[in-house]
Structure formats: C-alpha cells, structure tokens
Amino acid sequence: MYFMRSISSSPNDIHQIFMRWSSLKHSLFGALMASLAAILQATGGVLPGIGMLLSPFTTLPILLSTLVSIRTGILTYILTILLLLLMEPSELFIFPFTTGILGIGLGWTFRILHRRLEIILINGLLLFTGICIPLYVLGFPVFGPTVASNFDGLILLMIFGFSILYSWLWLELGLFFLRKIEIILKSG
C-alpha cells in the first residue's frame, strides 16, 4: 500500500551532508533560509494573486533548516518571525501557526519517521492545531470571511481533511525538492 511505503533516503542523506558543515555554515544557512522564508511569506500580503501562490513555499526553507538540525530549524523559524514583524506584520498570524510549524514538523518527521502515513498524520495534526489556534483562540480569520470563528463540527472536519491533504501534498513536494537538492549538494 502506498501510504505504508517508506520515504526515500534523501532527507537523511542531506542531513549527513549538512553535518559535515561547520557551525558557522549552519548559522549562515539558517539566516539565508530565514530571509528566503520571510520573503516568500511576505509575498502573500505584498503581491495579491501571484503572492498567494508563492507564500505556501515558505515551508521549504524551514524544512531545509530543520534537516540541518532541530536547533537550526527553530532558530530559522524564530528569525523568520522577527523578519516578518519588520516586513509584513499581517503575516504573523499565518506563518508561525501554519507554514512555519509545518516546515519544522516535516523536517523533524522526515528524519525520524520513515512511513508516509506516519509523517502525513503527525504533520496533518500539527497543521490542524496550527490553523485552529488563530481561528478559534485568537479569532483571526485564517480562511478569510468564509469560515466563522465559532465552533462548528463540520468546519472542524473540513479543516482536518484540508490539513491531512495539505500535509500529503507537502510530503510529496518536500521529497521532490529534496531529491533535487541532494543532487546539487553531492555534485558541489
């Protein structure tokens, strides 16, 4: 069955390459990824339309930083939040709870888990929680005015389904990008 298959070894191979880097390279890479993540996330607010298509790719730089180490991933996540505070504060309700936390979750689960189903479920739950906090606790309309901030079982079920589907999509996108990045890192 597809969901019980193991993922490729690319995440662990990339981690092994990153482990040969010095602490300075880890820090510089994390700062570069934070800058890239902040730019990608800010495009959603700065460039309506095309920016909404680019902003989901904010997950990738955070994922890569987390493959360096969980510490580098968390520091990149925090630095991205600080950069967004300066660049596009309206994105501070979205990034920390959705694309950013999904990047950390994917980077972490790619390293320690091997089956697709486990990775999808854990990241789906993480994203579901990350969507529900700004929506229900902070009252921020994550999906715009179409989804109300009061509890509704059907809406929760739809958010959960969306979270699982989005995590599955990012599992496949992440592995695709990691295979390409591994080729580049091994050739350099």
pLDDT in tens, 77-102: 999 999 999 999 988 888 999 999 99
- 3-state secondary structure labels for all residues of 152-169: CHHHHHHHHHHHHHHHHH
The pLDDT of 152-177, averaged and rounded, is: 94
Least confident segment among 24-33, 51-60, 101-110: 51-60
User: Whole-angstrom Cα distance, residue 157 to residue 50?
Assistant: 29
Question: For residue 151, is pLDDT > 80?
Answer: no
pLDDT classification of 149: cutoffs 50, 70, 90: low
Question: Residue 23's pLDDT band (boundaries 50, 70, 90)?
Answer: very high
Q: Residue 144 above 80 pLDDT?
A: no
- Residue 148, pLDDT above cutoff 70: no
Alpha-carbon distance of 60 to 14, in angstroms, equals 14
Residue whose entry in the numeric block shows the structure tokens 């739950």: 125
Give me the chain's average pLDDT, please. Answer: 92
Query: Minimum mean pLDDT among 9-23, 101-115, 144-158: which range?
Result: 144-158
* Residue 80: closest CA among 102, 64, 98, 58: 58
Quickly state the pLDDT bin for 52 (edges 50, 70, 90). Answer: confident
Q: Are 138 and 97 in contact (CB under 8 A)?
A: no
User: Of all residues in the chain, what percent are helix, strand and coil, respectively (each to 5)?
Assistant: 80, 0, 20
Which residue ranges form the domains of the chain, and what is each CATH number? Answer: 2-187 (1.10.1760)
- pTM, to two decimals: 0.92
**C-beta neighbour count of 133 within 10 angstroms:** 17
Residue 10, classed as helix, strand or coil, is: helix
The pLDDT value given to residue 44: 83
> Across residues 4-33, what is the average pLDDT?
94
